[in-house]
Amino acid sequence: MKMVITSWNPAGALRRVLRYAFGDLNLAAVTASVFVENARSVGVLVKSGFDIEGRTLRPASARSGEREVLLFKATRASFAHAALSQAVGRA
């Protein structure tokens, strides 16, 4: 079977993963971390219902040492709120 992806929507893909995590798997929360300078990933996480929980330093590579990372968390409630906000925005 051949699958052709005509467009990539990271926020849509993440929302599908979160629906599975909170629905089928019944998880209480999902966490993520992203390098501070990765603004697009930060935007996708926030748009999908993740809240910033903190920041820390993580090893990046042997040459660059440590880099600052933002820590995110989404709960069933924050995801539902983000989904509702998206639906209202489209109406």
Q: What is the pLDDT of residues 3-37, one digit of tens each?
A: 455 556 778 888 889 999 999 999 999 999 999 99
Give residue 1's pLDDT: 47
Rounded to the nearest integer, the mean pLDDT of the chain is 85
**Tokens encoding 13:** 């893909």
Give residue 91's pLDDT: 52
Give residue 77's pLDDT: 92
Q: Yes or no: say if 18 and 44 are a contact pair by the CB < 8 Å rule.
A: no
Question: Distance between CA 81 and CA 49 in Å, rounded?
Answer: 7
> Which of the given ranges, 3-12, 21-30, 56-65, 76-85, has the highest pLDDT on average?
21-30
Mean pLDDT, range 40-50, rounded to an integer: 92
